[in-house]
Chain A
Amino acid sequence: MTTAIINVSLKAGVLDSQGKAVHHALDSLHFKGVSDVRVGKQIVLKLDTDDKTAAMAEVEKMCEEILANTVIEDYKIELI
């Protein structure tokens, strides 16, 4: 069994309106010293394989084809 944790977020340079709103909220709650906020989403997959190399290749393909829209989003994959 392999677990893939995928974080999808808007690319650097693409305005993240949700991040901006959260930043504003943190600021109004007096949490100071936050210079930027980015909001993304996490997708967790349970995979049947133990082969991490094969799993990584497969999950990358999933990200490119559907899990992320690479026009506006980046993804990071962690396998455990």
Chain B
Amino acid sequence: MKVTILQFPGTNCEYDTQHAFEKLGATTEIVWHKAESLPADTNLLVVAGGFSYGDYLRSGAIAKFSPVMKAVTEYANKGGKVLGICNGFQVLTEAGLLPGALKRNDGLHFISKHHTLKVENSDNIFLEKLNNGDIVNIPIAHHDGNYFIDQDGLKELYANNQVLLTYSDKDGSIKNPNGSVDSIAGVCNKNKNVFGLMPHPERAMESILGSDDGVKMLEGFLAS
């Protein structure tokens, strides 16, 4: 299993992501954004978190024009598995690989804390180790995590089981930290090969550090 991790100027979660996947037994490679192709043996491409291009203009807006993104789009369109975490989620929405957009948090503050999430749809490779309704404890760290999609788009997400995770309390009731539409924390594309979420599963790999619920999430990719 080979995991390729993208690195833009300003990316800062690539080494955490590398550590997380290597802990699960994958081999990894960090690829600089100037690359024009991806390693041929890539089984999963991760767009890691951070602040690509300083979040200038909009989060993820400038990264979508990096040379590597052409290869990423081709890879995704051919059915390759892509995971965008936090800023990676923002990059994938800006690039049009995932529906919707991420706005400034409603409270206008940067939020950095552990948050419980509810699994809404586990009928996909990302969450297949979990069940619908499961609660996971995963850190969030974002300023622009307020997911927006219009009503028609939202209906389509529900119709295709594309809503993956929502922010909830520990009992599964809605608890919305940032104003996201329907408290959405993560979505996938229609073909269920491109996944994006604002929370950081790669930071929840050791119970001694607060939670190891990220293991169950990332393991889904290794099993497939």
Partners in one complex: yes
Of the candidates B93, B108, B150, which one forms a contact with A17 in the assembled complex, judged by CB atoms under 8 Å apart? B108
- CB-CB < 8 A to A44: which residues of B? none
Interface positions of B (Cβ within 8 A of A)? 57-58, 61-62, 65, 93-94, 100-101, 103-108, 146, 148-150, 179
Q: What are 20 A-B contacts defined by CB distance under 8 Å?
A: A10-B103, A14-B148, A15-B179, A17-B105, A17-B106, A17-B107, A17-B146, A17-B179, A18-B104, A21-B108, A66-B61, A66-B65, A67-B57, A69-B61, A69-B101, A71-B100, A71-B101, A71-B149, A72-B103, A72-B148
Q: Which of A15-55 contact B (CB under 8 A)?
A: 15, 17-18, 21
**A68 → chain B closest CB, angstroms:** 9
CA of A17 to CA of B58, assembled, Å? 16
CA of A67 to CA of B61, assembled, Å? 8
Q: Is the CB of B58 within 8 A of A69?
A: yes
**B40 → chain A closest CB, angstroms:** 30
CA of A21 to CA of B88, assembled, Å? 28
Nearest A residue to B60, CB-CB: A69
- CB-CB < 8 A to B108: which residues of A? 17-18, 21
CA of A63 to CA of B104, assembled, Å? 20
CA of A71 to CA of B104, assembled, Å? 14
CA of A69 to CA of B148, assembled, Å? 12
Nearest A residue to B96, CB-CB: A71
Nearest A residue to B106, CB-CB: A17
- CB-CB < 8 A to B105: which residues of A? 17
- CB-CB < 8 A to A18: which residues of B? 104, 108
CA of A70 to CA of B150, assembled, Å? 12
Q: Is the CB of A15 within 8 A of B100?
A: no
- CB-CB < 8 A to A71: which residues of B? 93, 100-101, 148-150
**A7 → chain B closest CB, angstroms:** 14
- CB-CB < 8 A to B65: which residues of A? 66
CA of A21 to CA of B106, assembled, Å? 10
**B155 → chain A closest CB, angstroms:** 16
Q: Which of A59-80 contact B (CB under 8 A)?
A: 66-67, 69, 71-72
Residues A69 and B94 in contact in the complex (CB < 8 Å), given A14-B148, A15-B179, A17-B179: yes
**A62 → chain B closest CB, angstroms:** 11
- CB-CB < 8 A to B62: which residues of A? 66
CA of A66 to CA of B105, assembled, Å? 21
CA of A66 to CA of B56, assembled, Å? 11
CA of A80 to CA of B159, assembled, Å? 47
- CB-CB < 8 A to A17: which residues of B? 103-108, 146, 179
